[in-house]
C-alpha cells in the first residue's frame, strides 16, 4: 500500500436512523470523498462483530447487504480506486490474527474495557459471550492487518486504539517490527477533529440520544420509515411549556433538538436556524417545518436507495475483497513466521 490507510466501519445489524446517518454514515462518506486522493480509505462492514451481543441471525445477511446499499445511497464513490469496501468475514485473516493475538493479551486488560463493562452489565452475566469479551482484540486485528494509520473513534472507543497500540508494540518488542500500530488517540482527534458535530436526540425524551433501544420507536426516525409516518413523529415530538422558541439545551432540549434536525436537513448552520425561529411562540410552525424537511429527506433518500446499482456494488465488493485479502494475508504470514507457525 503506497498511501497511508484510514480505516472505519459501521456495524451491519443496526437499523439505521437519522442520528446514525448524520452522526456516523454521512461523516464517513464525506471523509472518504475528502481524503481519497491522499489516503487509502478502507470502509468495512464488521459483520463478525455483529453477534458479539445477541441478534436475529436470520436477518444478518440481508442487513449486511442493506447497509452496503445505504453507503452507496449516501454517496460513497464506488468508482474511486482509493476507496475499498469489504466484509470483515470475507477476509479470514481477521479471525486468524485474532487467535494469535489472544495469546499475547491479558485477561485483566480485557476486563478493564469500559464498553465490555457497560454492555455486560446490561446483558447480565449469563448472556455475556466470550466474543464480547474478546471484541477489542478482533478490533485490533481489523486495524493491524492493514497498518491503518487513522481510525475515527468516539471517546467510548478510545481504549480500543490504546489496546491496539499496546498489542502491536508488545509483538514488535518480542518479534521485531512485524505490525504497524495506528497513531495515538490525541493525533487521531487532531486529524479528524475532536468535535463530532450535532447529536440528534430522541423525539420522545430529548434528554437522551436517539437510539434504537427505544422499543416504541416513537422517538426515532429510521431511514426505512414511511415519510408520512416520520413526519407525524416530528409533530408529536416532546417540547416544553416555556412557550417561546430558543436554543437552550438545558431548559428546552426538545426545541433545541428540533432546531438541530432542521439545521442538518436544511444544510444551514445551527445558529442561523435558531435565529430564524428565536422568540416565536408557536411551536407547531417549527414542528411543521421540520416535519416537511424530514419527509422530503426520506423520500429522496429512499429513492436513491432504490436506485443503487447492485451489479456495480457487487463488482466493487469483489475487487476490494480480493485486494484486502492479499494485504491482510501478507501481514498474517509475517506474524505467523514470527511466532513459528510458518
Query: Could you list the active site residues?
Result: 119, 209, 212
In the sheet that 40-45 helps form, which strands lie side by side, from edge to edge? 5-9, 40-45, 83-87
**Cell numbers standing for residue 202:** 430522541
Supply the angle between the helices 227-235 and 283-306 in degrees, to the nearest 10.
160
Q: What distance in Å separates the CA atoms of residue 247 and residue 268, rounded to the nearest whole number?
A: 15
DSSP secondary structure letters along 120-169: HHHH-GGG--HHHHHHHHHHHHHHHTTT-SB----GGGHHHHHHHHHHHH
Q: Could you identify the residue written with the cell 445551527?
A: 270
Q: What is the CA radius of gyration of the chain?
A: 22
Burial 184-197 (b: 16+ CB within 10 A, else e): ebeebbeebeeeee
Amino acid at each position: 500500500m503506497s498511501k497511508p490507510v484510514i480505516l472505519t466501519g459501521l456495524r451491519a445489524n443496526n437499523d439505521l436512523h437519522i442520528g446514525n446517518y448524520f452522526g456516523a454514515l454521512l461523516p464517513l462518506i464525506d471523509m472518504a470523498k475528502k481524503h481519497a486522493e491522499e489516503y487509502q480509505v478502507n470502509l468495512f462492514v464488521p459483520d463478525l462483530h455483529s453477534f458479539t451481543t445477541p441478534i436475529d441471525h436470520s436477518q444478518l445477511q440481508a442487513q449486511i447487504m442493506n447497509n452496503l446499499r445505504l453507503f452507496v445511497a449516501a454517496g460513497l464513490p464506488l468508482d474511486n480506486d482509493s476507496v475499498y469496501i469489504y466484509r470483515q468475514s470475507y477476509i479470514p485473516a481477521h479471525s486468524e490474527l485474532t487467535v494469535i493475538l489472544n495469546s499475547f493479551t491479558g485477561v485483566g486488560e480485557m476486563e478493564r474495557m469500559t464498553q465490555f463493562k457497560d454492555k455486560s452489565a446490561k446483558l447480565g452475566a449469563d448472556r455475556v459471550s466470550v466474543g464480547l469479551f474478546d471484541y477489542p482484540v478482533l478490533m485490533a486485528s481489523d486495524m493491524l492487518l492493514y497498518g491503518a494509520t487513522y481510525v475515527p473513534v468516539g471517546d467510548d472507543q478510545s481504549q480500543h486504539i490504546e489496546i491496539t497500540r499496546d498489542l502491536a508494540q508488545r509483538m514488535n518488542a518480542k518479534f521485531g517490527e512485524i505490525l504497524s500500530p495506528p497513531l495515538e488517540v490525541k493525533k487521531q482527534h487532531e486529524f479528524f477533529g475532536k468535535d463530532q458535530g450535532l447529536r440528534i436526540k430522541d423525539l420522545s425524551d430529548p434528554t437522551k440520544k436517539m437510539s434504537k433501544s427505544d422499543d416504541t420507536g416513537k422517538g426515532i426516525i429510521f431511514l426505512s420509515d414511511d415519510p408520512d409516518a416520520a413526519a407525524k413523529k416530528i409533530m408529536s415530538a416532546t417540547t416544553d411549556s416555556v412557550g417561546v422558541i430558543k436554543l437552550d439545551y438545558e431548559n428546552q432540549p426538545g426545541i433545541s433538538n428540533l432546531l438541530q434536525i432542521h439545521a442538518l436537513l436544511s444544510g444551514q448552520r445551527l445558529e442561523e436556524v435558531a435565529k430564524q425561529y428565536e422568540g416565536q411562540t408557536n411551536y407547531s410552525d417549527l414542528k411543521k417545518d421540520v416535519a416537511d424537511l424530514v419527509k422530503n429527506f426520506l423520500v429522496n433518500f429512499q429513492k436513491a436507495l432504490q436506485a443503487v446499482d447492485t451489479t456495480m456494488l457487487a463488482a466493487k465488493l469483489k475487487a476490494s475483497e480480493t485486494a484486502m485479502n492479499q494485504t491482510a494475508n501478507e501481514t498474517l504470514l509475517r506474524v505467523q513466521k514470527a511466532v513459528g507457525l510458518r
